[in-house]
Amino acid sequence: MSGFVAWLESLNQRDTKVCAVLRRSLAFDPGTQPAAYPYVEPFLATEDNSWRRTVHYLVAGLWAQHWKDGRGECAPLGRAAAIQMNASQSKSTEQRFVALLDSDEDQLPYRLRQMIALLKDQSIDFESVLTGLVFWNSESKRTQTDWAKDFYRTLNHDNSTNEEISE
């Protein structure tokens, strides 16, 4: 969509404090921590939509919280959650994922931070997270539907593959 994550990666390569500043910004409402402004505002120079601005700050903080050098192939959030659930065999992953999908814009930052923390071992496609969050409030619930499809299709595919192996 925007190349925002590539922008953050390039900033992080030049200045190692980028991740630390953006991680700390998660302790505040998205877009209200002045220390994060130098890293996000240049990318948003022409953006006037407040929701888009908010989700860029949220994703910047989440990306920084989750950042590790040399991660493998990145998965969309729904797929990463399903992979985590299969690996951990914990039903609470699904409960948290469903709660995330049911979040309104006030609950979303908190629940998304919880989910990203739970997925610490997964490589997440933050560019697709950003794209989804931009459309979070649409009446059609497009993002929530797409994320749910990724989750349940991956979960069912992995479970059916496991059953075939055990037979």
At 112-159, the pLDDT tens digits run 999 999 999 999 999 999 999 999 999 999 999 999 999 999 998 765
Say what the pTM is.
0.89
For the 1-67 domain, the top CATH level (class) is: mainly alpha
Pick the CATH number of 72-167 from 1.10.520.40, 3.40.50.12780, 3.90.1150.10, 3.40.50.300: 1.10.520.40
1-67 matches 72-167 in fold = yes
> Which sign, positive or negative, has the C-alpha torsion 70, 73, 79, 83?
negative
Instruction: Give CA–CA dist 82/86, Å, rounded.
Output: 6
Q: Residues of the chain whose pLDDT is less than 50?
A: 1, 163-167
Indicate left, alpha or beta for 89 from its phi (over 0: left) and psi (-120 to 50: alpha): left
Tell me what pLDDT residue 1 has: 42
Tell me what pLDDT residue 73 has: 83
User: Do the Cβ atoms of 5 and 19 come closer than 8 Å?
Assistant: no
Dihedrals phi, psi of 151, to nearest 5 degrees: -65, -55
The gap from C-alpha 164 to its chain's centroid, in whole angstroms, comes to 32
Q: Where are the domains of the chain?
A: 1-67, 72-167
Tell me what pLDDT residue 70 has: 58
